[in-house]
Amino acid sequence: MTQNDPNQVLHNDRFLRALAREPVDRTPIWMMRQAGRYLPEYRASRAQAGDFMSLCRNADLACEVTLQPLERYPLDAAILFSDILTIPDAMGLGLYFETGEGPKFRHVVRSAADVEALPALNAETDLDYVIRAVSTIRSALNGRVPLIGFSGSPWTLATYMIEGGSSKDFPHAKGMLYSDPDTLHALLGRLATAVTDYLNAQIRAGAQAVQIFDTWGGALAHNAYTEFSLAYMQRIVDGLIRTHDGRRVPVILFTKGAGQWLEAMADTGADALGLDWTTDIGQARARVGDRVALQGNMDPAVLYASPEAIRAEVRRILSSYGQGSGHVFNLGHGITPSVDPEHARAFIETVVDFSPEWHR
């Protein structure tokens, strides 16, 4: 593994300063899925790798695609190129992808015996290809911008493991939640331990911030969210390395559809909350005050509009957040594959050009 220099100068720390709610000259920006299928250079790299997981498992190619959007756009952070389902894959569930259908598992977890049979993971060895990628990317960045590591949340990982793939209704996962909650808690506990180890390994390898993606937390009923999703993210936050190489390592919680739980999420001790586009960012700021930074939250579908409409929506969100630091601009979910890269450019450059007026 490449050893990163702890004395490496970070030339652009705008993202980290905003997460700490420290003064910045402009609002920092990155995009969820910024390395992805909307870029022709990404598609070329994936074709070279052969398939998606081969791309993830090749540290040099994972580094290449991580850096590709930084060559096009004035972004303020890089995010590790990987997948949220690496943990269940390492647990032996047999991750594979079918064209047009998303990720699937050859084996599912639907009983207490299935949970008991899951192996305990050691991220350094069982997910060594991810840790190598983190170290490779951090070295290649050479202080250009910070590197974000990430994982799926325990609840989100559990839905895929129980359903065997993506789902709209989560019949097996929600069925377990209501009919066999002890088994679900046992699974979530194992996943919380694995995610904590995984993120800490990424931090030791060079990740300078981490994000927990709770893609499906918003599908839960109100009380079920706090018991089966947020409680396990809290456990992870409590177990994370929060200072490394002499700097604080901020953690971002992102639950899609979590507008009603922002205060409870802020109570976890996370540094920032990711917002989807269904919550007004100004109202969110009024609710959480200065306890956390906020990340978001433009609807990714705006990128299908004209550059003029994109610029107008960026300015509206900047105005809604208002004056001062603590805002990291992002989409409210990942950029979609059919977006014109020039529309992404209009989005990013508008933040760069117009956000300084909110930091005077």
The CB-side HSE value for 56 (13 A sphere, CA atoms) comes to 17
Radius of gyration (Cα) for the chain, nearest Å?
19
Answer yes or no: is 35 a known binding residue. yes
Answer yes or no: is 152 a known binding residue. no
Answer yes or no: is 27 a known binding residue. no
C-alpha 340/C-alpha 352 separation (Å) is 19
The CB-side HSE value for 195 (13 A sphere, CA atoms) comes to 30
Answer yes or no: is 333 a known binding residue. yes
- Angle among Cα 352, 281, 315 to the nearest 5 degrees reads 35
C-alpha 172/C-alpha 164 separation (Å) is 9
Answer yes or no: is 107 a known binding residue. no
Answer yes or no: is 11 a known binding residue. no
Answer yes or no: is 316 a known binding residue. no
How many CB atoms lie under 10 A from the CB of residue 103?
19
Q: Tokens in use for 135?
A: 């170290």
Active site residues: 33, 37, 46, 83, 160
Please report, in range form, the residues annotated as the binding site. Answer: 33-37, 83, 160, 215, 333
Please report, in range form, the residues annotated as the binding site for substrate. Answer: 33-37, 83, 160, 215, 333
